[in-house]
Amino acid sequence: MVLALIVTPILLILAGTLGQNLLAEGSTFRAVLTVLGAPMVALLIDVTLCAWLLGARRGWDRTHIANVMGSALPSVAMVILVAGAGGVFGKVLVASGIGDAIADVLDRTGLPALFLAFLTALALRAAQGSTTVALITTAGILTPLLQRADLSTGQLSLVALAMGAGGLAVSHINDAGYWMFTKLAGLDVASGLRTWTVLTTTMGVIGFGLTAALWPLV
């Protein structure tokens, strides 16, 4: 039952995505799948199922169910706040039109595009915490530079992998994933920095090293 409850929102979101890409526009079935596959709707359905299957069906009253659900909010509030702040920061970077200006500065450094992709993603990841925001922002910043560089498809693929390596590294206290790991593992902030941050940074550096090693071959 627990495994089914964990998988349910994932399947709903997957069904919504497939419906949008495979079904014809205007289809009633597509519209239903789109609504059910919206992340907030899928998670709300799953929470409702949890309240009934794990609570009401086992004899819990509404007050007890509300108390249990409410007790989960304080532990995730900081994670939600940090993730939201990181998203806002990334949106400001993109909307400000800073991409072309930074691309000009990076171009004048003379550094290879592969290294710039890794370094930019790493810096943004360290600054605001979200890997997704770091990658999207890095792509927006480097697009003008990459258009001038005339790279092959294989080289562009390696640049994307280098961005991913940079976005993986330096996960620390402004990253929602850092708090999820430390909370689940029962670690304090210092221990998380010594373990999780070092691990993610090592993985990122190794990933960049592999892409750099493949660069002469493509």
Q: Are residues 85 and 152 in the same domain?
A: yes
99-104 mean pLDDT: 66
132-145 mean pLDDT: 79
Residue 86 has pLDDT above 80, yes or no: no
Residue 24 has pLDDT above 70, yes or no: yes
Instruction: Tell me the CB-side half-sphere exposure of residue 99, using CA atoms within 13 A.
Output: 19
Q: What's the pLDDT score for residue 87?
A: 65
Q: Indicate the SS3 state at residue 17.
A: helix
Q: Are residues 103 and 194 in the same domain?
A: yes
Q: Measured between alpha carbons, how far is residue 187 from residues 4, 11, 192, 193, 196 in Å? A: 29, 32, 6, 10, 10
Q: Are residues 96 and 143 in the same domain?
A: yes
64-72 mean pLDDT: 85
Q: Which of 88-92, 133-137, 210-214 has the lowest mean pLDDT?
A: 88-92
Of 49, 71, 93, the residue that ends a domain is 71
Name the residue among 60, 56, 133 with its Cα closest to residue 93: 133
Q: Are residues 65 and 83 in the same domain?
A: no
98-117 mean pLDDT: 75
Q: Are residues 35 and 132 in the same domain?
A: no
Q: What's the pLDDT score for residue 10?
A: 93
Distance, CA of 56 to CA of 96 (rounded, Å):
50
Q: Are residues 177 and 124 in the same domain?
A: yes
- In SS3 terms, 83-152 reads as HHHHHHHHHHHHHCCHHHHHHHHHHHHCCCHHHHHHHHHHHHHHHHCCHHHHHHHHHHHHHHHHHHHCCC
Of 71, 91, 123, the residue that ends a domain is 71
Q: Are residues 54 and 102 in the same domain?
A: no
Contact 142, 132 (CB under 8 A): no
Percent of the chain with pLDDT over 90: 32
Q: Are residues 143 and 194 in the same domain?
A: yes
Contact 36, 45 (CB under 8 A): yes
Of 40, 71, 102, the residue that ends a domain is 71
Highest averaged pLDDT of the listed ranges 10-14, 56-60, 107-111: 10-14
Q: Are residues 14 and 61 in the same domain?
A: yes
Q: What's the pLDDT score for residue 44?
A: 92
Q: What's the pLDDT score for residue 147?
A: 78
Task: Please tell me the pTM assigned to this model.
Answer: 0.60
Q: Are residues 29 and 99 in the same domain?
A: no
Query: Which residues form the domain of 198?
Result: 76-217
Instruction: Tell me the CB-side half-sphere exposure of residue 17, using CA atoms within 13 A.
Output: 8
Q: How many domains does the chain have?
A: 2
Q: Are residues 44 and 99 in the same domain?
A: no
Q: Are residues 147 and 165 in the same domain?
A: yes
